[in-house]
Amino acid sequence: MKGIMPNTQIHGLPIFPVDAHIFPGGKLKLRIFESRYIRLVKERSSLDPAFAIAMYSHVMVGQQPQLLKVATTVKIIDFENLEDGFLGITVEGVGLVSILSVMTESDGLHIAECDLLTHWNQDTADFDEGHTEYLTQKLRSLYMEYPDFSALYPSLKQDLNWLVMRWLELLPVPSDLKVEMLQEKDASNAVMLVRMMIEASEKNLSDPDDLS
């Protein structure tokens, strides 16, 4: 597991819980309609990070979903007026934080004390072995099928870490496992998981009757 960055505690960071997954470098559209989140956007739209997005664990406690202790800090990169009259924002993932404690303000907005976390080493040469080209091709094909994703990413970075994070955001992997992988020293295990799931999905599509 990667460690905590020295002298990088973040105080008073708002937490936005969502079911969607976003990691550093990723983009996500959010619909803002609750008063607590309207206030959040007004107060922190120009800040970087503006807030942190926390995913729910797949583990329930007393029939209640629990937030993961690792969240993604985001900055707001775009605003739009939605057809239903509500505010829409687009955020981009910046980094990872470990949530140390959370307090809830009078309107229900969660405010956290956090430590900034390191994540994957940038040097992927030792285990790339064609993975960058493969994941780029597969991701480009997927985005062509879904215009909403294509609009968020008009071009794909030729960076293995970036590509793996985009796949982790999309694949049906428990959020707890995704977060664990992001805290490993490099992306090698995540690469293997992503490729295995892509290849298994393609095999099922080509031969749906083969259950072996």
> From CA 64, how far away is CA 144, in angstroms rounded?
37
Of 207 and 51, the structure prediction assigns the larger pLDDT to 51
Of 2 and 89, the structure prediction assigns the larger pLDDT to 89
CA distances from 112 to 18, 65, 104, 167, 170 (A): 16, 18, 9, 28, 26
50-67 confidence digits (pLDDT tens) = 999 999 987 777 777 789
> From CA 51, how far away is CA 72, in angstroms rounded?
9
pLDDT score recorded for residue 125: 87
pLDDT score recorded for residue 10: 93
* Banded model confidence at residue 131, pLDDT cuts 50, 70, 90: very high
pLDDT score recorded for residue 86: 94
> From CA 37, how far away is CA 22, in angstroms rounded?
18
pLDDT score recorded for residue 212: 47
Q: What is the pTM of this model?
A: 0.90
pLDDT score recorded for residue 198: 96
138-158 confidence digits (pLDDT tens) = 999 999 999 888 899 999 999
> From CA 134, how far away is CA 136, in angstroms rounded?
5
Residue 72 has pLDDT above 80, yes or no: yes
**CA 14, chain centre distance (Å):** 16
pLDDT score recorded for residue 24: 96
pLDDT score recorded for residue 3: 63
184-205 confidence digits (pLDDT tens) = 999 999 999 999 999 998 888 7
pLDDT score recorded for residue 64: 78
Mean pLDDT of the chain: 91
